[in-house]
Amino acid sequence: MTMESTLPAQTKPHGDPVLSMRGISKSFGAVQALSGVELDIYAGEVVAIVGDNGAGKSTLVKILAGVHPPDAGTITYQDEVVTIPSPAASRTLGIATVFQDLALCDNLDVVSNLFLGREIGNFALDESEMEERSWNLLRQLSAKIPSVRLAVASLSGGQRQTVAIARSLIGEPAVVILDEPTAALGVAQTAEVLNLIERLRERGLGVVLISHNMADVQAVADRVVVLRLGRNNGEFLVSDVSYEEIIAAITGATDNVVTRRAAAVGLEREEEGTK
């Protein structure tokens, strides 16, 4: 159902990307984790980054989150070249990252977690204001959380993921990065989180989805960027790529110049055709 509704938008989004990375390289000691990686993030689009273990997905995300600075390459954010030296700088730019471990305080309730570090009121917390805003936010995301005064420890995995994602939106970011949001979730909870990702796109955010799960990627992503051994290994529109093709790109079964160029040219042709 999600596929149907998003099909017309499957051409590359118009306009400039919110954020683009060009020629990003990063090495850890003797290991070249990323070399010359390119990535564009558009507003109102879900781009999935897929790849095998060690492909460099996490490193790429950590560069955006300000955890590691890149060795080479440029990051352009809203038409300006920027550097992201720290997690705080990343947040200030408008990039919100939801890490796999969620980083929630189990002993605090949902409202406290949503506003952690951004509380309204310094010497007299405005609890009602925060609670109202929490409800508004959660309702906009169609999140199913019975009470925002429950401690986070008592929520299910999907609800916790929801709280973590909702928290990233408190700072009104332009780009949201989700690292394996469905990795530890059951079927129903996964569906809940995927719905949430749809909501994020509807809000006009650029969403980066890191995932191992091809079913999830095909369900919500508009575009798939494949990394393999620290390099770009193909970029596909979800609408016109098969599961096998993505897997082939991930595993490197098509990893030679000819097929890569063929894929790229084919892609561009199709785009022009649909325009």
Partner 1 sequence: MTTQVTGDSTVAADLQDERLIRSSGLGGSMRAFVSRVRNGDLGSLPVVVGLVVIWVIFQALNSDFLSSNNLVNLTLQCAATGTIAIGVVLVLLLAQIDLSVGSVSGLAAAILGVGLTRYGWPLSVTIAVALGAGIAIGLLYAFLFVRFGVPSFVITLAGLLAFLGLQLWILGPNGSINIPFESWAVQFAQQMFLPPIAAYLLAVVAGVGLGLSGYLNARQRRKHGLSSTSLVETLIKSILLIVILAGAAWYLNTDRGVGASFLLFVAIVVVMNYALTRTKWGRSVYAVGGNVEAARRAGIRVNQIYISVFALSSLFAVLGGLLAAARLTSASLSSGGGDTNLNAIAAAVIGGTSLFGGRGSAYSALLGILVIQSISNGLTLLSLGSPERYMITGAVLLLAVIIDSLSRRSRATHGRA
Contacting positions for partner 1 (CB under 8 A) = 87-88, 91, 99, 101-108, 112, 116-119, 121-129, 131-132, 135-136, 139-140, 144-154
Tell me the closest approach of the beta carbon of residue 125 to partner 1, in angstroms: 5
Tell me the closest approach of the beta carbon of residue 272 to partner 1, in angstroms: 34
Q: Which is nearer to partner 1, 23 or 171 (CB)?
A: 171
Q: Which is nearer to partner 1, 38 or 131 (CB)?
A: 131
Q: Which is nearer to partner 1, 88 or 265 (CB)?
A: 88
Residue 131: exposed, middle, or buried by beta-carbon count in 10 A (0-12, 13-18, 19+)? middle
Strand ranges across the sheet with 31-41? 31-41, 19-28, 72-77, 80-82
Residue 66: exposed, middle, or buried by beta-carbon count in 10 A (0-12, 13-18, 19+)? buried
Q: What is the DSSP string of 41-70?
A: E-TTEEEEEEE-TTSSHHHHHHHHHTSS--
Tell me the closest approach of the beta carbon of residue 166 to partner 1, in angstroms: 13
Residue 139: exposed, middle, or buried by beta-carbon count in 10 A (0-12, 13-18, 19+)? exposed
Tell me the closest approach of the beta carbon of residue 155 to partner 1, in angstroms: 8
For residue 271, give Cα distances in angstroms to 8, 201, 223, 236.
Answer: 12, 21, 13, 11
Q: Which is nearer to partner 1, 149 or 269 (CB)?
A: 149
- CB atoms under 10 Å from CB of 239, counted, come to 17
Are the CB atoms for 230 and 218 separated by under 8 Å?
Answer: no
Tell me the closest approach of the beta carbon of residue 215 to partner 1, in angstroms: 28
Residue 51: strand pairing partners: 227
Q: Which is nearer to partner 1, 47 or 84 (CB)?
A: 84
CA-closest candidate to residue 70, choices 55, 88, 82, 53 = 82
Q: Which is nearer to partner 1, 16 or 129 (CB)?
A: 129
Pairing of strands 231-237, 223-228: antiparallel
Tell me the closest approach of the beta carbon of residue 229 to partner 1, in angstroms: 29
Q: Which is nearer to partner 1, 88 or 264 (CB)?
A: 88
